[in-house]
């Protein structure tokens, strides 16, 4: 058997992402999905979303919703899927039971599959025995000898049975687009279960049928599915179907080189969205988990990824999930985002923390002070921190000082190096004098005005500017005092300086 069927090569490329809605969308699934999407789009083909929801207990509509929302947010948009009118639908497996029933019956009729009546206990006992004898625990084929008539009678009488595929003892080979030639000795599989009954298909069977009927040309999925491929190919052959091409992506590993899991702080996509990772950053980062452009370049937009993608540039060895790298990408993309757009992205974070309330698109109310703040001022605040943000949510910690009447801090923070409280109090007095006299509160004016005065009076710059900045912000680190004073305005700046004096006692 060979998957390199020339018949698939002339067809329009069609790939699919086939998640089981049994959990939230996670990084590994996005990687699979993204590579399917990139390849389909690169080849001018179609990308299909198929929901594999045959595990009735574990599949949940909210997980399907989470998967779809996550993909939409990332800009990985399917051409066909559960909510489109594609001609290969339905796209949810539970809506395709008639189809699987038809093919299960065909496999049974043509003796490619048979009913197995062995009980769980019996199978377990046989398994233990084989393991004890040093054999791989495969099914011994006992029920393959039952005649079709007898099996039908027993089923009709209500006896419980599963459907097993009759595996041929031969080597199954295919050429994987990433791994090259792969051989599997199918005799090691034994006769495997493909359905719990004619209307309850299991993964390998349902996927094999759907991939054929949906005219999928390329199957791109994780390395953990490598050994499913020969099973699916055998089912396709038994049904007289051709085979698609396969590309198995390397495992994603944590920094300790073990399979990526929650232990490595890998979280569902919704978590990254909430923290304020940008979709471009995630896509770019995820694309590099298994692919590289062959150059030093690291920043790729989605259209650029589509353009550059190839399986030749995918590697077999595991890819390390390094959150520091994701942070790096995110900072880069935040810096590239136009200020207006970035401000728009940040407004929900302020609203969520109840720092501002929306009056209109361009006007907001500061909750703590009841003052109005316009979009331009918000943008100005954001502009002070655009260079330093790693995640959007970091804006709150950096800028909450603009949304309170008075900051709260320990008085020792006002001390610059070995200053005494008395010296700080004098510095604050000086600042009050300087800001009160200021003819304008524009930052350049304030800077010249203050620095000149400091120089004329022969004062220590740090001893004035540090207490000024802390009094205005209440923070160890922030943007410079003049930029902040400009935004706070004269009244609030003086109020904060007077408050600092009060703190000093």
User: Known catalytic residues?
Assistant: 262
Can you list the alpha helix ranges (DSSP code H) found in 81-178?
Answer: 97-109, 120-132, 148-156
**CB of 169 vs ligand GLU, minimal distance in Å:** 25
Burial (CB count within 10 angstroms: exposed 0-12, middle 13-18, buried 19+), residue 231 = buried
What is the distance, to the nearest Å, from the Cα of residue 61 to the centroid of all Cα atoms in its chain? 19
DSSP 56: T
**Is the CB of residue 269 less than 8 Å from the CB of residue 30?**
yes
Measured from the CB atom, is 35 or 403 closer to ligand GLU? 35
Pairing, β 193-197 against β 162-165: antiparallel
**Is the CB of residue 281 less than 8 Å from the CB of residue 11?**
no
Interacting residue ranges for ligand GLU, rule: CB under 6 A: 18-20, 52, 207, 221, 225
Residue 171 is inside which H or E element, if any?
strand 171-176
**CB of 93 vs ligand GLU, minimal distance in Å:** 9
What does the alpha-carbon distance between residue 393 and residue 492 come to, in Å, rounded to a whole number?
Answer: 25
What does the alpha-carbon distance between residue 243 and residue 6 come to, in Å, rounded to a whole number?
Answer: 10
Measured from the CB atom, is 201 or 276 closer to ligand GLU? 201
Other C-beta atoms closer than 10 Å to the C-beta of 252 total: 24
**CB of 220 vs ligand GLU, minimal distance in Å:** 8
Measured from the CB atom, is 52 or 66 closer to ligand GLU? 52
**CB of 326 vs ligand GLU, minimal distance in Å:** 23
Measured from the CB atom, is 141 or 222 closer to ligand GLU? 222
Residue 182 is inside which H or E element, if any?
strand 180-185
Measured from the CB atom, is 48 or 398 closer to ligand GLU? 48
- Starting from the edge strand earliest in sequence, which strands make up the sheet with 356-358, in order? 356-358, 363-366, 372-374
């Amino acid at each position: 058997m060979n998957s390199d069927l020339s018949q698939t090569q002339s067809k329009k490329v069609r790939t699919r992402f086939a998640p089981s809605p049994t959990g939230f969308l996670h990084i590994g699934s996005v990687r699979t999905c993204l590579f399917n999407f990139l390849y389909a789009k690169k080849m001018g083909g179609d990308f299909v979303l198929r929901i594999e929801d045959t595990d009735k207990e574990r599949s949940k509509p909210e997980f399907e919703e989470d998967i779809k929302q996550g993909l939409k947010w990332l800009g990985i948009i399917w051409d066909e899927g559960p909510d489109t009118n594609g001609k290969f639908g339905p796209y949810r497996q539970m809506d395709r039971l008639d189809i699987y029933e038809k093919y299960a019956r065909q496999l049974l009729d043509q003796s490619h599959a048979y009913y197995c009546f062995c009980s769980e206990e019996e199978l377990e006992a046989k398994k233990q025995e084989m393991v004890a004898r040093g054999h791989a625990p495969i099914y011994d084929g006992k029920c393959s000898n039952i005649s079709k008539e007898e099996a039908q009678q027993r089923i009709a009488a209500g006896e419980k049975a599963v459907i097993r595929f009759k595996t041929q003892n031969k080597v199954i080979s295919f050429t994987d687009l990433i791994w090259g030639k792969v051989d599997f000795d199918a005799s090691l599989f034994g006769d495997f279960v493909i359905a719990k009954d004619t209307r309850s298909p299991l993964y390998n069977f349902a996927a094999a049928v759907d991939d054929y009927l949906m005219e999928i040309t390329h199957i791109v999925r994780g390395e953990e599915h490598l050994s499913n491929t020969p099973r699916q190919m055998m089912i396709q052959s038994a049904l007289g179907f051709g085979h698609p091409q396969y590309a198995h992506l390397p495992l994603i590993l944590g920094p300790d080189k073990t399979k990526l899991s929650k232990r490595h702080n890998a979280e569902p996509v919704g978590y990254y969205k909430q923290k304020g990772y940008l979709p471009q950053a995630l896509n770019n980062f995820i694309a590099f988990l298994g692919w590289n452009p062959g150059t030093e370049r690291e920043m790729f937009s989605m259209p650029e990824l589509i353009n550059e993608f190839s399986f030749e540039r995918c590697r077999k060895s595991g890819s390390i999930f390094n959150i520091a790298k994701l942070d790096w990408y995110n900072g880069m993309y935040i810096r590239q985002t136009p200020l207006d757009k970035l401000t728009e992205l940040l407004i929900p974070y302020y609203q969520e923390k109840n720092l501002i309330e929306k009056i209109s698109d361009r006007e907001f109310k500061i909750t703590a002070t009841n003052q109005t703040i316009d979009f331009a001022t918000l943008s100005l605040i954001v502009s002070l921190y655009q260079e330093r943000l790693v995640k959007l949510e970091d804006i709150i910690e950096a800028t909450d000082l603009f949304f309170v009447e008075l900051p709260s801090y320990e008085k020792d923070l006002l001390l610059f190096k070995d200053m005494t409280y008395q010296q700080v109090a004098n510095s604050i007095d000086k600042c009050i004098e300087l800001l009160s006299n200021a003819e304008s509160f524009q930052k350049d004016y304030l800077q010249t005005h203050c620095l000149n005065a400091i120089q004329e009076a022969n004062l220590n710059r740090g001893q004035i500017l540090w207490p000024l900045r802390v009094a205005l912000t209440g923070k160890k680190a922030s943007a410079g005092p003049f930029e902040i004073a400009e935004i706070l305005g004269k009244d609030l700046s003086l109020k904060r300086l007077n408050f600092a004096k009060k703190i000093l006692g």
